[in-house]
Amino acid sequence: MESLTDAIDAIRSHIHQLNEFEIYANNTTNSLHNDYVYKFALSFERIDDPVAYTLFVQKYWYHSITISIFYFLSVKFLQRIMSNREPFQLKRPLLLWNTFLAIFSFFGFIRTIEDVIYSLYYLDIFHSLCYTINPYGVAAFWALLFAISKVVELGDTYFIVLKKKPLTFLHCYHHIVVLIGTIHGGLYYIIYSLLSISICFLC
């Protein structure tokens, strides 16, 4: 019974520290995030004020739904416009688009997998699943870019419509769910979320 009480007290303490952003400031007895430091990091690969970013996303995350609604309606509108038109020949723009996304995904995977490997190899399962990534570090920077990229990747659908290729509901549903889920889930900087981000970068 005591162990259950201790666990509940620990959860309450963690929730308080999350709400007060103590994990960012390390104003705790023990750090609540992974303290891994990258051996090599570019000067821009950091988050200088994670509290400000988190508060911004907490305040405006619902706009991921707004963007999704606009995305779906604009796709339907564009399909109607294209119904009586010849498909566009977009080989070169599509090549550039896919090349850009491939390069971005490659570097995103390379930069995040290092933190994931450290977490899974050197930390126990509790720390790997329940602790956050370093909110100031390289992994947090690329997690932020990953979230932004979910908006950019909506452009895939417009290429399909302009080329008059078959467009399934599942395609649109996937983009919408991933966008909303990523923006909403990105508030917490959890390590296992970084693992899924690394896998998504690879895919």
Whole-angstrom distance, CA of residue 54 vs CA of residue 21: 9
**Chain centroid to CA 137: how far?**
15
Max alpha carbon distance in the chain (Å)?
Answer: 71
Contact of 22 with 107, CB cutoff 8 Å: no
| Phi, psi angles (nearest 5°) of residue 147 | -60, -45
Active-site residues, by number, are 174
Whole-angstrom distance, CA of residue 172 vs CA of residue 188: 26
Contact of 47 with 144, CB cutoff 8 Å: yes
**Token output for 79:** 């399909």
